Amino acid sequence: MITAGELIKKAESYLGTKDNGNNKVKFNTEFYGKEVQGDGYPWCVVFIWYLFKKLNALKLFCSGERVASCGVVMSEMKSRKLSYTAKPEKGDLVIFDFSGRHTAHTHIGIVTEVINSNTFKTIEGNTSNTNYTNGGYVLRQTRYISQVNCFIRPEYSAEKAKAVELKENGTVYKYPFKDIAGKSSPGVKSLKKGDKVELIDGSDDGWGWSQVKSGSSKGFIMNRHLKAKGLSPFKTYTAEKEICAQPVVNKKLGAAVKLKKGTVYTLICEIESGVYKGRKYISADKKKYYI
């Protein structure tokens, strides 16, 4: 058996993979036992099948059957009473109906993060930003409940956790971002240096945040606070052009300033909900900004 985190980690390893523009891709080659291409070989479901196969966990996906159709996935999973339409959880398979009618089954993905009651993030095969259902790439996407037919929860093993000590004071947030001005990701618990939390295995998002438990509280914390090896750091960038930014002053945004081309800044997070949704919270020159 595998955990939801293990499936997501495997999916992340294929981010950026693309087909030849006509569905010729390694996932189809594995599924069909030969190279194939053409309109008859869409591969969003095949990508999911491939992940479970590589993890030796095909029994969790359609009982190990070779399935390439969203409709068949729904039928098989419903027969095992695994299909539902409640709020999503990390690791859920999600069947989409982008028409908004919640009846069709045109695409599938894996829920990687729940932002709020309306928004979640996924990894999907055969998608793009202009063609959701046959776009040819493995990508992260942001999706909405209005686009969903149903969620399916495979029978994963329970997530593993290990005790980790804080090397400095830190806060556990409701979501994997900090919105100091808009307060859309409230702190659920303040911790001190030396406190211990349970680090959820496989929860590191690759951008400097991980999911933890502390007593009855569960949320997300910056990896830099944790005394643990192998966790992702925040990513650092160099401004390719002048950037308009608002400094954070007393937990509010100040008047806009310009960060010069060539400024090196650290991306702490992207604001994923609330008034400042889409803005980035950064650190540059020992100051914090929203850009």
Quote the tokens at residue 23.
């569905």
In the chain, what are the domain boundaries? 4-152, 161-227, 235-290
Fold of 4-152: endopeptidase fold (from Nostoc punctiforme) (3.90.1720)
pLDDT digit string, tens, across residues 147-191:
999 999 999 998 888 899 999 999 999 999 999 999 999 999 999
The CATH number fitting domain 161-227, selected from 2.30.30.40, 1.20.1740.10, 3.40.50.720, 3.40.50.10490: 2.30.30.40
Task: Give the DSSP letter of residue 198.
Answer: E
pLDDT digit string, tens, across residues 80-106:
887 776 789 899 999 999 998 888 999
**Residue 259 and residue 282 in contact, taking contact as beta carbons nearer than 8 Å:** no
CA separation for the pair 132, 92 (Å, rounded): 18
Q: Is 237 exposed, middle or buried (0-12, 13-18, 19+ CB in 10 A)?
A: middle
- Torsion angle, CA of 148/151/199/15, rounded to 10 degrees? -60
Task: Specify the pTM.
Answer: 0.72
pLDDT digit string, tens, across residues 221-249:
999 999 999 899 999 999 999 999 999 99
Hey, do 4-152 and 161-227 end up sharing a CATH topology, with the first three levels equal?
A: no
